Amino acid sequence: MRLISNKALREFAKTHPAARGALQGWRRVIEQGQFRNHAQLKRTFSSVDKAGSYFIFDIAGNRYRLIAAIHFNTQILYIRAVMTHADYNHWRP
């Protein structure tokens, strides 16, 4: 799957350095995988949830949340936001 864009992960890690390793590990799994639907994604990322048209990933033991739009037909994942769990509590799809 193609990820758009790693820059969002790097920028978040600048202000939250503890997230860097977990975010880059998540990126590698995404880029090496081919996911055809939510069920296949859930087999790899058991905690992934869907909110509206977005997919919500728990990162680093649920300390961070990554919100993405995924186009399974083209195998492209767009990162919409990376935030702390506390910030996520105020987010609405």
| Domain interval for residue 22 | 2-88
Could you tell me if residue 93 is inside a domain? no
Task: Report if pTM > 0.75.
Answer: yes
The answer to whether the Cα torsion of 76, 81, 82, 87 is positive or negative is negative
> Count of CB atoms within 10 A of residue 70's CB?
21
pLDDT digits (tens, 9 = 90+) for 52-81: 999 999 999 999 999 999 999 999 999 999
Model pLDDT, residue 93 = 76
pLDDT digits (tens, 9 = 90+) for 4-59: 999 999 999 999 999 999 999 999 999 999 999 999 999 999 999 999 999 999 99
- Counting the structural domains of the chain, the total is 1
Q: What are φ and ψ of residue 77, in 5° steps?
A: -115, 125
Per residue in 23-62, is it b (16+ CB within 10 Å) or e — as a string?
beebbeebeeeebeeeeebeeebeebeeeeebbbbbbbee
CATH code of the domain covering residue 51: 3.30.2310.20
In this model, does residue 3 exceed pLDDT 90? yes
